[in-house]
Amino acid sequence: MVNPHKLLEAYERGHLTDIGLILDLLRLTNMSSVKDVLPDVPVPVLRKLERFVNEYDGNTRVLGGAPPAAPTVAFVRDQLRDMCKNGKLVPARARDECASPDARRAGPTGDRGSKAHVLDLVSSPAFRHKVDNLFGDQGIRLAEHGYPRPLGRRTPADWREYELEEYMRALPVPGHKPLDLKWWIPHKTGMNRRPTWDLLCHILVKGKPGLLLVEAKAHVGEMSEQDKKSRPTGSNESQCNDRRIRHNISETNTLLSGLGYGQFSLSVDHHYQLANRIAYLSKLARDGIPVVLSYLGWLKSPAWPRDFFRDRSDWEEVMRRYTSGVLPGDFPGKVVQFENGGSMQMLVRSLEVEA
């Protein structure tokens, strides 16, 4: 059985990124309520946690029905700021700055290649200039408050990659609702998680608030990662999630193939990462949000001396071969406008790796 006190200790040490992961793990126990799970936590803390579970799960039980959604960093910061007195719960910012020196010294795992280059980009004083230059004169620029995630290497909360669902709850697009937490998968568990993104930002698309979604690559071998969706387990939750993902991708194929650009052949069996990126792009646009998906190639990455992208033409040719047979050839670069004000555009862009 999972020991809730051990989990809380792990949380304090910074070994869990937010309280949502603790709630996910507590679902694996036979404890049925927040009070049962955290018997020693003061009543005000319990009430706040129960309100959270009630808001996100439709009831006040941790177990049963759909799992509670993982709260955002903003939720942890704003709702648990005053819960440090008893030493049981530590807000994310306090944990990252004070309670996890080992994790801070170690820095992000896998800090090389495309991940390292993205962290260098968001940490650069020229970040805004570089992002704006990716789009030329297309009327796309970083919003005044761009809210890039990840942010840098200062704390674990800064360098982690976000799910779109949690990002849009913590940092909503003005005038738009966040994605339904159950759109991609109805049941989020330790084994069933939503896609995360290399970089997310708020942008303006011809003056309208929108989102930039970035998938970054630094070498040819990276293109085949997450090429196929993992098989579902025998649990009802996993089977349900698998059906929902297949439905979403099939629906995206049907909708986009009707736009007149050609046939879309997104699949869970090949090019799965591309499939889920395009599905999210389409979903946000159909929800009325101007959205840009940028496949960003890092040129001459020193981490990959054998199969790096030599120049912009090399990267664009790699992307052309990668998307061939999956996307219509002229889809990248096209702006698709919807009557509800949403729009979508997939762009293939590149940046030089700075020495």
- For the stretch 254-309, pLDDT in tens is 999 999 999 999 999 999 999 999 999 999 999 999 999 999 999 999 988 889 99
State the pairing for strand pair 343-352/335-337. antiparallel
Radius of gyration for the alpha carbons in the chain, expressed in angstroms and rounded: 21
Residue 180 sits at the vertex; the CA angle it makes with 177 and 182, to the nearest 5 degrees, is 175
Q: Which residues contact 278 (CB under 8 A, 6 or more apart)?
A: 252, 256, 264, 266, 293, 327, 346
pLDDT (0 to 100) of residue 157? 82
Please list, in sequence order, all residues whose beta carbon lies within 8 angstroms of the beta carbon of residue 2, skipping any fewer than 6 positions away.
25, 26, 28, 29
Beta-carbon contacts of residue 326 (< 8 Å; ≥ 6 apart):
264, 265, 266, 267, 270, 271, 274, 275
Contact 151/206 with Cβ under 8 angstroms?
Answer: no
Output the six-digit token pair for 296.
């960003």
- Tokens 């759109």: give the residue: 183
Whether pTM > 0.85 for this model: the answer is no
Question: Is residue 77 very low, low, confident or very high in pLDDT (cuts 50, 70, 90)?
Answer: very low
The two tokens of residue 314 are 């090399």
Residue type at position 329: G
189-207 b/e with 16+ CB inside 10 Å = b? beebebbebbbbbbbbbee
Question: How confident is the model over 127-146, as a mean pLDDT?
Answer: 95
pLDDT at position 98 over 80: no
pLDDT of 235: 87
Q: What per-residue confidence (pLDDT) applies to 193?
A: 85
* Low-confidence winner among 8-17, 51-60, 113-122 (lowest mean pLDDT): 51-60
**Cβ contact 299:311 at 8 Å:** yes
**Mean pLDDT, rounded, for 244-248:** 97
pLDDT reported for residue 46: 56
Of the chain, the end-to-end C-alpha distance in Å amounts to: 49
Looking only at the bridges linking them, the beta strands covering 335-337 and 290-299 are unpaired
How far from chain centre, in Å, is Cα 129?
23
| CB contact at 8 A, 328 and 274 | no
Q: Are the C-beta atoms of residues 119 and 214 closer than 8 Å to each other?
A: no
Residue 85 three-state SS: coil
Residue position matching structure tokens 């955002």: 72
How many angstroms separate the CA atoms of 218 and 277, rounded? 18
| Better-scored residue on pLDDT, 59 or 258 | 258
Judge if the upstream peptide bond of residue 290 is cis by omega within 30 degrees of 0. no
Comparing 67 with 251, which gets the higher pLDDT? 251
DSSP-assigned letter for residue 179: P
Q: Which residue has the tokens 């071969």?
A: 321
Higher-scoring residue by pLDDT: 263, 71: 263
pLDDT of residue 354: 82
Helix (H, G, I), strand (E, B) or coil at 295: strand
Between 249 and 232, whose confidence is greater?
A: 249
Give the other-Cβ count within 10 Å of 25's Cβ. 18
- Here the tokens at position 165 are 């669902």
d(CA 97, CA 154): 9
Tokens of 30: 């036979």
